[in-house]
Amino acid sequence: MPGFATYLLGGLTAIVIACLVFSLFKHPSLPLPPGPKPAPLIGNIHQLPKSLQWLELYHWSKKYGPVMHLSMGGQPLIILSTHQAAHNLLNCRSSQYSDRPRMVMAGELVTKGMHMLLRPCNDQYRLHQRMEAPLLTLRAASKYRPLQDLESQQLLWDVLGEWDRFGEKGVDFHHHFERAMASTIYCLNYGYRLQTGYEKELMDGKRVQAEFARTGQVGAYIVDSFPWLNYLPKSLAPWKTEGEKLFELERQLHVGNLKKGLSNRKWNFAKHMKDSPEAAGMPEVELAFDLGILADAGLDTSTVALDWFIVAWITSGSRGWVKKAQQLLDEVVGKDRLPSFEDRPKLAYIDAIASETLRWRPVVVQGVPHFTKTEDEYMGYRIPANSTVLPNAFAITRDEAVFGEDVDNFIPERWLAKESDQEQIDICGLNTSALNQLPHTGFGFGRRLCTGRLIARNQLFIQMARMLWSFDVEAGVVDKATGGRHKVHDMDCTEGFVTLPKPFRSVMRPRGQWVREAILKAGTTHTLDHSAILEAAKIEEFR
């Protein structure tokens, strides 16, 4: 017969176990969100397709609902597929959901914890955010518009030149958008512009970006699934040597650029950040990475948005939005000069086109993963501690409850507000009263919201307005004999962190002689002194 002491011991053990379970799962009785049935050990890894994962996840969300749970070899992955779910967790509970999942290869080995996008949400992250913040406010963004004006003027000059050379074969528009954006961001960051778009700094920057996308891919490195493997010696862990080489490539690029920026006589971001109180005692390489990541983050994203704008133009322009935009531009701007930022309050429709482009084809189509260290409850489900939380941008931008009907079609009108009595124009000229409050989910959520979005919005506005005012666009001719044009499909895209349309050339035919005259009159900009623009843009405050 067991004695009293045995009963007592058994009872106490049961209580301790119950407490332990309770401390591990604050919501032990709640189920995990629904999702496809996982296999033992590997979970759902084998069910995810190798390509277009975001599309498969979107289809799954129709079956399993707005909050799904997958197991990536035991690691919980929560997929959010409606705006409401993403907003409730990532915006409203931002303090809990603003971390990033650990990425051993891309985050720790290749960038040694200095990649802003991958930093965990800790004091160090906040220090870097504070250092960059004064350069990225609405007021600051308004001061960079003369530079964006200059670069988009150059864009038109370059496109016209290539049209004259290649005619119906078409223009490599991606290259020209990329040069214009890269030149804008390199000029702000380091004080130098890019004339051809083939400069070594940009080529190295593009290689660094491609490596970031490759090394950050889910499943690319076994060490990301089993981080303890990183304790292995180098001889048994070949990814370590690869990581060191890639780090060195990136270090040289960013430190070289920082040095160029600091040696420039005129103002630029590098100088501002170096003088900020947060940078006191900061190693040179850490500062260099901050600037480098800012350049990387801005370059691809804005360029890709403009590429999709061309795809929308070719595949759905006949639905009337191009004609409407061009008529408006002709009314507001006339035919004697290029559109400018001063025209923006009357051109809310162009901003609506930019918003619709970002919605229709979100640049980071699968979304950027957030992470929660602590357990939570949502919609009656348990979100386990240490979950990666992915807002699937493709699904969220197709949320009919928010964006209305016909979400697969390109309809800028969905962004226009009803008539408003009081006109409100922000400091960048954006007519906020003419536009409604639909969310710009393509820029992310909560504390991790894209910090460059205001600069990006200005860039998209001026380039879209000027392209629409200047050109008629269609796919380039690929068969000279028959005159057959490239077939542009609106879902034909590349894989990767950002999703580009597959490359093609596009005809950019000037809308009339007046366009040619205005572009030639404005002229090329490479002979102009841009340092005066930078000096005028100088941001004095550090907080």
The angle subtended at Cα 493 by Cα 491 and Cα 498, nearest 5°, is 120
Q: Which 457-486 positions form the footprint of ligand HEM (CB under 6 A)?
A: none
* 448 binds ligand HEM, rule: CB under 6 A: yes
Residue with smaller CB distance to ligand HEM, 191 or 452: 452
Strand ranges inside 288-353, DSSP E: none
Cα(202)–Cα(204) distance, rounded to whole angstroms?
A: 5
Structure tokens, 440: 């710009």
Angle, helices 145-166/453-470, rounded to nearest 10 degrees: 40
Nearest to 56 by CA among 304, 392, 406: 392
* 140 binds ligand HEM, rule: CB under 6 A: no
Cα(310)–Cα(300) distance, rounded to whole angstroms?
A: 16
* Residue 528 DSSP class: S
Residue with smaller CB distance to ligand HEM, 276 or 301: 301
Nearest to 461 by CA among 305, 333, 351: 351
Question: What count of Cα atoms within 13 Å lies in the side-chain half-sphere of residue 96?
Answer: 18
Q: Which residue is nearest to ligand HEM (CB)?
A: 452
* 456 binds ligand HEM, rule: CB under 6 A: yes
For the bound state, the minimum distance from the C-beta of residue 499 to ligand HEM, rounded and expressed in Å, comes to: 11
In this structure, are strands 387-391 and 75-80 parallel, antiparallel, or unpaired? parallel
Backbone Cα Rg of the chain: 26
Identify any residues that bridge with 335 across adjacent strands, giving them in sequence order: none
Residue type, 365: V
Is 187 annotated as belonging to a binding site?
A: no
Residue with smaller CB distance to ligand HEM, 249 or 368: 368
What does residue 150 show for φ and ψ, rounded to 5 degrees? -60, -45
Cα(305)–Cα(301) distance, rounded to whole angstroms?
A: 6
Task: Pick the stretch among 165-173, 273-281, 427-435, 451-459 that binds ligand HEM (CB under 6 A).
Answer: 451-459
- Quick one: which of 117, 246, 287, 353 contacts ligand HEM (CB under 6 A)? 117
Binding mask 63-102 for ligand HEM (x = CB under 6 A): ----------------------------------------
Contact between residue 247 and residue 112 where contact means Cβ atoms under 8 Å apart: yes
Number of residues that bind ligand HEM (CB under 6 A): 25
Cα(344)–Cα(512) distance, rounded to whole angstroms?
A: 23
For the bound state, the minimum distance from the C-beta of residue 530 to ligand HEM, rounded and expressed in Å, comes to: 17
Q: Which 426-445 positions form the footprint of ligand HEM (CB under 6 A)?
A: 442-445
CB within 8 Å of 495: residues ≥ 6 apart: 51, 52
Residue with smaller CB distance to ligand HEM, 170 or 298: 298
Residue with smaller CB distance to ligand HEM, 266 or 453: 453
- Quick one: which of 294, 322, 462, 519 contacts ligand HEM (CB under 6 A)? 294
Task: Pick the stretch among 275-283, 416-424, 448-456, 516-524 that binds ligand HEM (CB under 6 A).
Answer: 448-456
For the bound state, the minimum distance from the C-beta of residue 306 to ligand HEM, rounded and expressed in Å, comes to: 9
Binding mask 398-427 for ligand HEM (x = CB under 6 A): ------------------------------
**What separation in angstroms does the CA of 201 have from each of 192, 226, 292, 510?**
11, 35, 11, 32
- Quick one: which of 298, 339, 429, 496 contacts ligand HEM (CB under 6 A)? 298
Task: Pick the stretch among 156-164, 317-325, 397-405, 450-458 that binds ligand HEM (CB under 6 A).
Answer: 450-458
* 269 binds ligand HEM, rule: CB under 6 A: no
* 246 binds ligand HEM, rule: CB under 6 A: no
Task: Pick the stretch among 78-86, 236-244, 291-299, 401-409 that binds ligand HEM (CB under 6 A).
Answer: 291-299
- Quick one: which of 291, 297, 347, 352 contacts ligand HEM (CB under 6 A)? 297
Task: Pick the stretch among 169-177, 235-243, 297-305, 332-340 that binds ligand HEM (CB under 6 A).
Answer: 297-305
Q: Which 336-375 positions form the footprint of ligand HEM (CB under 6 A)?
A: 358, 363-364, 368
* 209 binds ligand HEM, rule: CB under 6 A: no
For residue 332, the tally of other CB atoms under 10 A from its CB is 17
For the bound state, the minimum distance from the C-beta of residue 296 to ligand HEM, rounded and expressed in Å, comes to: 8
* 455 binds ligand HEM, rule: CB under 6 A: yes
For the bound state, the minimum distance from the C-beta of residue 498 to ligand HEM, rounded and expressed in Å, comes to: 8
* 451 binds ligand HEM, rule: CB under 6 A: yes
Query: How many Å is the maximal CA-CA distance in the chain?
Result: 105
Residue with smaller CB distance to ligand HEM, 294 or 434: 294
CB within 8 Å of 364: residues ≥ 6 apart: 301, 393, 442, 444, 497, 498, 499
Contact between residue 435 and residue 121 where contact means Cβ atoms under 8 Å apart: no
Cα(192)–Cα(260) distance, rounded to whole angstroms?
A: 8
Binding mask 299-338 for ligand HEM (x = CB under 6 A): --xx--x---------------------------------
Sign of CA dihedral 236, 240, 242, 244: negative
Contact between residue 297 and residue 220 where contact means Cβ atoms under 8 Å apart: no
Task: Pick the stretch among 69-77, 242-250, 295-303, 531-539 that binds ligand HEM (CB under 6 A).
Answer: 295-303
Contact between residue 250 and residue 111 where contact means Cβ atoms under 8 Å apart: yes
Residue with smaller CB distance to ligand HEM, 289 or 445: 445
Cα(508)–Cα(148) distance, rounded to whole angstroms?
A: 21
Residue 147, sorted as left (phi over 0), alpha (psi -120 to 50) or beta, turns out to be: alpha
Q: The sheet that has 75-80: what strands, in order across it?
A: 67-72, 75-80, 387-391, 370-372
* Binding interface with ligand HEM (CB under 6 A): 116-117, 293-294, 297-298, 301-302, 305, 358, 363-364, 368, 442-445, 448-453, 455-456
Which residues sit in the known binding site? 450
Binding-site positions for heme: 450
